[in-house]
Chain A
């Protein structure tokens, strides 16, 4: 990949040994996301306590970028409120859309992913886990 080696190694590490992989037995919230372009799918399960994410797991059938993104997301959102996590997701989406190289401080740990945004075909792979997260946030609002 054309991303700097350090980023690539970080992504591959997450892809090979994903954090919080699997499925919670009795989740408070659950959402699935599907990439119709390639058939990849992902399930996110969350447990909440007073609006804060206590535990989360992702079950991924997807490529290395999809898997790495899910793993990084799970590390990032633990112990955050679902609302805050949803906001991070929106900032992430925004920075993937924007044409600049600037990355908000709050997304520093997602740099290796954002560096790949020039590969437009892979953005859906990066977003799959976050789509599921936003789905959970919406479910929680209603």
Chain B
């Protein structure tokens, strides 16, 4: 069994990884869907409820002050983690989906005009697609797709072509139908493609187009630098970076924060409430109506701290090694159809495939019999799957605790699927 130093250190921290499934040790390879939680995150949740539980910003008693401190320190810690220079730019939400819906409802919808357009890519997750369809339809605006490069089996396939982006942007200027926004993921949740976010933002900004980055997959896999990238918005979920469910983050730069209308109305987001009208609190509270997820923020802060101790570059290297190994193994089997770039150049952590003539559901169930957890389905990317002419695929995705041996177990277990369904 081959282990990386990082894995050896990490596995002990995750109690769930000790579970056996159908008598086999669990090989958890569905980290793109959600990650397992280290003891420090679980402890943070318990510690909050056992010692500090109370509502934030509303009480003057000791507990309420502690809870407020935990919540605001969590904001600081997240800001630092993604390279934001001010925690006031960090809005807590329920997850990536809510973060993007917040931008759609509070920023895009009020501004969007009939003759404007929104630019998305073919590889977007439904959470970075459907909200834009909804606002575009409401405004009578157009949703435009930046296509991915054709699957050629070479390393050029399954990527976003910057030349094409430049053409789309130039064309929109020529036709006087400007893009209100470009919404793009930093890492594809199906292809694992790492998109050149800094270059994309530079091109878009050169034409005056703001950019929203869906970092749901990227944030657990590589260093994020919102200031360096100069992105307008960035969204991610806590549960995909070893933190709790029900907590997400929206980063917005100052100019955009100022343009945003409130999202939901309620307690906490107001300055003064009159009988007919109200005035709003400053950002970020303006966008956080109701009692916020304080325990979840304490868990998220613990997860961020945990990742920082390893170093995001170290984690990136680890996932690069795992992905490289998986891609190398694919080359051994001609009945496996791999989607996305076949090399580890600008690709990380996520590998989707099909076993020819066997439905992904059936493959996933056979793998489960061997204790291997993978995802089967369209992974919330029906547009991308249609682009490939398939309904569904099998996806393995790695975390910092995964080992080469787990990937090898998957390839061995595929033989059982062949045996059952193809003999």
Which residues in A have some Cβ–Cβ distance to B below 8 Å?
1-2, 8, 12, 37-41, 61-66, 119, 122, 125
Contact = CB atoms under 8 A, between A and B. Distances in A.
Interface stretch (B64-72, B160-168, B360-368): B360-368
A53 to B, nearest CB: 27
B391 interface: yes
B420 A38 contact: no
B366 A1 contact: yes
A6 B360 CA distance: 23
Contacts of B421: 12, 64
B387 interface: no
B365 A38 contact: no
Given A8-B420, A40-B391, A66-B359, 10 more contacts: A1-B420, A2-B369, A37-B377, A38-B391, A39-B392, A40-B361, A63-B361, A65-B361, A122-B361, A122-B365
13 contacts: A1-B366, A2-B22, A8-B420, A12-B421, A37-B377, A39-B377, A39-B392, A63-B361, A63-B362, A64-B362, A66-B361, A122-B365, A125-B361
A58 B361 CA distance: 20
Q: Interface residue tally of chain B, by bracket?
A: 10 to 19
A140 to B, nearest CB: 29
Contacts, number: 46
Interface string B9-33: 0000000000000100000000000
A2 B22 CA distance: 9
Nearest to B421: A64
Contact of A39 (B22, B365, B391): B391
A65 B385 CA distance: 21
**Interface residues of A: mostly helix, strand, loop or mixed?**
mixed
Q: Which 6 A-B pairs have the closest CB atoms?
A: A63-B359, A63-B361, A39-B391, A38-B377, A39-B378, A64-B362
B365 A12 contact: no
A38 B366 contact: no
B382 interface: yes
